Amino acid sequence: MNILIVVISKISMIILKKMGRGTSFPGKLALTLNKNIIKDFKLPSKTIFVTGTNGKSSISGMLKGFYEAAGFTVGNNSKGSNLINGIITEFIEHSDLKGTINKDVLIIEIDERYIKEVFKDIKPHYLIVSNLARDQQARNGNFTIVFDDIKRVLTDDIHLFLNADDPIVTNLADGHNGKLTFYSLERTIYSTKSPTYNNLDMLYCPRCNNKLNIEFFQYSNICSFKCNNCGFGNNIPDYQGRLTKELDLEINGNLINLENHALYTAYNYLACYAVLKETGISEELCMYAFKNTNYKIKRLAKFNYSKKNETLLVCKVETPLTWNTSIEYISRNNTNEAAVIIGFDKTSSRYKLKDISWVWDVNMSLLNDDKIKKIICIGEYAYDIKAKLKHDSVNLDKVEIELNSQRMLKIIEDMEYNNIFLVYALDMEKTFKKLLNGVNYEN
Amino acid sequence: MKIRIGHLYYNILNLYGTHSEVTIIKKQLEFQGIEVIIDQKEINEDINFNDYDFIYLGASTDYNMFMCLDDLKKYRNDIRDYLKNKVIYSSGNSINMFGKSIDDIEALQIFDFKSTKLNKRIISEVVLKHKDINEPIIGVFNQSYVLDSNNNYIFKLIYDIENYPISFEGYENKGFIGTNIIGPIVCRNPYFTEYLVNKIIKSKYPNFIISEYNLKEEKDAYNYFMYRFHNSIRIK
């Protein structure tokens, strides 16, 4: 390791932090000075990478909290960038001048398209893949391209943690002779015999092209499946959770309170539990960590503004799965007389093109619910959302248009219904937070 | 009056929101007072092309497209007969199946065009023109294949943000309408929807008097998009 590069990068980090800017510039600087610098870092024996279409931020953030609660020192990039500059910035922050990362555990959230770049030079000991689905189609094309990128760089020295209920993710095990750990969730009260959507990503066996035998669906393409022809998907999960009647998650006889009752949270806990156990954490310490970690879920916040109950469900543009799970969350909620404000202003933070094909992959029919009295489509694409609501046979009498997202607080103040669900993309959440300026969130 | 839609390989040709196009077409036909039956077909199921008045195919991964191509090859003659007086709309990469070849793989050979895979995927926002539709078509290139449609192209490119060296897109010949453009085109282009639904109706009921369509919300979305973003368009 070139000590000078580490020193310069660390100094830039200190200066930027003093300026209140936590950017990935130090990593970019280090890369400019040595494009192969990532090879020179010495990683701790518990180096865990987390990737997938959704859940990587949550899982890595949760794992950080759990390991810390269990008494470990942890390096983690969940508050920074999950691209290569952000990862190197994280390495620099936690390393000594020789590039040794002095933490017990290193947990890195990594963008699924950057795995192929990073894994050329370094490999984690453990890799969690939460799920793979259609996402950021301008960038990714489709999920098979992402799958191929990941599959190509997997080596047998990586211990894979795979969501056994995702057929695309499960296929990563094909030909992997290293250690494999599968996690899964049993049938829940929300499970359905038929898919909720017509646009699932994988209904045919990726190995023999036979139609998969799907016993039930959890949400989207997350399901209990197997191929009757070749046996694909016939894995016995190493860790299986169960949702209780009270909607707690039961793992190995222990109960975990799922505050938001979202199924994806149950899967996130299962991934964490599997990794904690496989890295030698005792059952008692796992449960202690779960109970003593105050982890805030990024995508879901509850708060009170203007004497109303607001639930903020943060979605990602170009990722229909996040909108579908948010809409499912609303439909499963027991509130009376609710309003929904839904929208986004920008179609991509990365590309100039305005692709909204993903909107037509979101199933809005669940908003055709008597308890939802009003739907306000907000932002630059409000008319497109309304057109999709019409497509999904939602009663348009309760649908209104507001093109100006700066008016969202006024809309809440004037709302005649006390329960309001805000289904916003990240860009609109930022606008919302700025407008709120001081109102406290609580999970 | 009744129109029977064959939605082929509905559970895998469903990428980029294209499955939503079928619902819009169905609703517009129903709005004209026509009963609509949608028959969803999967791979390995028998397809009787005589059963349908309109056939729809959506977009997919390349892997799935080749799975469908293998399945469709046994119906080559049926498809040729069907197209003598009926309509197929192929949205997204399913269009490639209907040409002569996809790279060096034999396609259905219904038409003469060849599809060639590029080294790099084309990604760009586009505005296009159809010769019989006054309003421009909006959508997005997100494709690896280009086809040499010669004089049978469906759209002429009038704007793209990346300045790709492509001037024409898709294929239209008699009852076949196909485009590789992502939109979904029917969902985002109500004037194209009218054109397509007119064509479907007239293929079965030439004397049918078509009344105004129920596309207000779709037109609001289209018009706002054109109004909001048209200023940035440079016409080629």
pLDDT digits (tens, 9 = 90+) for A145-179: 899 999 999 999 999 999 999 999 999 999 999 99
The mean-pLDDT minimum among A21-30, A117-126, A139-148, B214-223 falls in A21-30
- Token representation of residue B209: 């008097």
The mean-pLDDT minimum among A113-127, B62-76, B102-116 falls in A113-127
Task: Considering only the beta carbons, identify the residue of A353, A390, A403 that sits closest to B217.
Answer: A390
Whether the per-residue pLDDT at B233 is higher than 60: the answer is no
Chain A residues with CB inside 8 Å of B63's CB?
Answer: 144
Chain B interface test: which of A146, A201, A323, A360 (most B C-beta within 10 Å): A360
Mean pLDDT of all residues in A131-143: 81
Tell me what percent of the residues of chain B surpass a pLDDT of 90. 81
Mean pLDDT of all residues in A420-440: 83
Count of the separate structural domains present in chain B: 1
Whether the per-residue pLDDT at A258 is higher than 90: the answer is no
Whole-number average pLDDT of chain A: 89
Q: How far is B126 from chain A (nearest CA, A)?
A: 8
Mean pLDDT of all residues in A329-348: 91
Chain A interface test: which of B10, B15, B28, B62 (most A C-beta within 10 Å): B15
Residue that is written with structure tokens 């639930």 in the block:
A311
Whole-number average pLDDT of chain B: 93
Model-level pTM?
0.89
**Chain A residues 362-391 within an 8 A CB cutoff of chain B:** 380-381, 383-384, 386-388, 390-391
- Token representation of residue B127: 């505005």
β-pairing, A239-243 vs A249-251, is antiparallel
Cα separation, B137 vs B155, in Å, equals 8
pLDDT class for B122, splitting at 50, 70, 90? confident
Side-by-side strand order, sheet with A338-343: A300-305, A308-315, A419-425, A338-343, A372-378, A399-402
Instruction: Show contacts of A139-145: CB within 8 Å, 24+ apart.
Output: A139/A113, A139/A318, A139/A350, A139/A351, A140/A113, A141/B121, A141/B142, A141/B144, A142/B15, A142/B61, A143/A53, A143/A168, A143/A201, A143/B61, A144/B61, A144/B62, A144/B63
Residue that is written with structure tokens 């440079």 in the block:
B234
Tell me how crowded residue A123 is: count the other CB atoms within 10 A of its CB.
16
- Token representation of residue A126: 């453990």
CATH code, B194: 3.40.50.880
**Per-residue DSSP letters for A158-175?**
SEEEEETT-HHHHGGGTT
Cα separation, B108 vs A371, in Å, equals 50
Query: Which is more confidently placed, B37 or B157?
Result: B37
Does the beta-carbon distance from A354 to B125 stay under 8 Å? yes
Whether the per-residue pLDDT at A30 is higher than 50: the answer is yes
pLDDT recorded at residue B231: 62
Cα separation, A33 vs A36, in Å, equals 9
Contact indicator for A129, A95 with CB cutoff of 8 Å: no
Residue at A186: amino acid letter: E
Q: How far is B84 from chain A (nearest CA, A)?
A: 31
Tell me what percent of the residues of chain B surpass a pLDDT of 70. 96
Tell me what percent of the residues of chain A surpass a pLDDT of 70. 96
Instruction: Note the residue count of chain B.
Output: 236
pLDDT recorded at residue A41: 87
Residue A350 in contact with partner chain B when CB distance is under 8 A: no
Distances (CA, A) of A265 to A18, A59, A259, A268, A346: 35, 9, 9, 5, 27
Does the beta-carbon distance from A359 to B17 stay under 8 Å? yes
- Give the range with max mean pLDDT: A353-362, A387-396, A432-441: A387-396
Does the beta-carbon distance from A390 to B61 stay under 8 Å? no
Q: How far is A343 from chain B (nearest CA, A)?
A: 14
Chain B residues with CB inside 8 Å of A134's CB?
Answer: 15
Element (H, E) at B185: helix B185-188
Task: Considering only the beta carbons, identify the residue of A144, A199, A357 that sits closest to B140.
Answer: A357
Distances (CA, A) of A436 to A308, A407, B46, B122, B131: 14, 11, 58, 41, 50
Q: How far is A144 from chain B (nearest CA, A)?
A: 7
Helices B216-229, A382-391: axis angle to 10 degrees equals 160
pLDDT recorded at residue A77: 83
Contact indicator for A422, A309 with CB cutoff of 8 Å: no
Mean pLDDT of all residues in A48-70: 92
The mean-pLDDT minimum among A61-70, A253-262, B31-40 falls in A253-262
Whether the per-residue pLDDT at A443 is higher than 50: the answer is no
Residue A120 in contact with partner chain B when CB distance is under 8 A: no
3-state secondary structure of A236: coil
Of residues A109, A46, A40, the one with CA closest to residue A74: A46
Task: Considering only the beta carbons, identify the residue of B12, B23, B121 that sits closest to A203.
Answer: B12
Q: In this structure, is the dihedral angle defined by the CA atoms of residues B21, B27, B33 and B39, taken in order, positive or negative?
A: positive
Nearest CA in chain A to B10: A198
Chain A residues with CB inside 8 Å of B221's CB?
Answer: 381, 383-384, 386-387
Cα separation, B153 vs B150, in Å, equals 6
Cα separation, A395 vs A372, in Å, equals 10
> B35-49, pLDDT tens digit by residue?
999 999 999 999 999
Residue at B177: amino acid letter: I
Whether the per-residue pLDDT at B234 is higher than 70: the answer is no
Residue A180 in contact with partner chain B when CB distance is under 8 A: no
Burial of A152 (C-beta count, 10 Å sphere; 0-12/13-18/19+): exposed
Whether the per-residue pLDDT at B236 is higher than 70: the answer is no
Per DSSP, what are the bridge partners of residue B140? B125, B182
Question: Between chain A and chain B, how many beta carbons pairs sit less than 8 Å apart?
Answer: 102
Nearest CA in chain B to A146: B61
Task: Considering only the beta carbons, identify the residue of A141, A354, A396 that sits closest to B142.
Answer: A141
Q: Which domain holds residue B14?
A: 2-232
> A182-238, pLDDT tens digit by residue?
999 999 998 999 887 777 889 999 999 999 999 999 988 899 999 999 999 978 899
Residue B28 in contact with partner chain A when CB distance is under 8 A: no
- Give the range with max mean pLDDT: A14-18, A27-31, A146-150: A146-150
Chain A residues with CB inside 8 Å of B188's CB?
Answer: 356, 384
pLDDT class for B10, splitting at 50, 70, 90? very high
Cα separation, B111 vs B178, in Å, equals 12
Whether the per-residue pLDDT at B184 is higher than 50: the answer is yes
Chain B residues with CB inside 8 Å of A198's CB?
Answer: 10-11, 14, 19
Distances (CA, A) of A124 to A18, A131, A174, A177, B223: 32, 18, 19, 16, 50
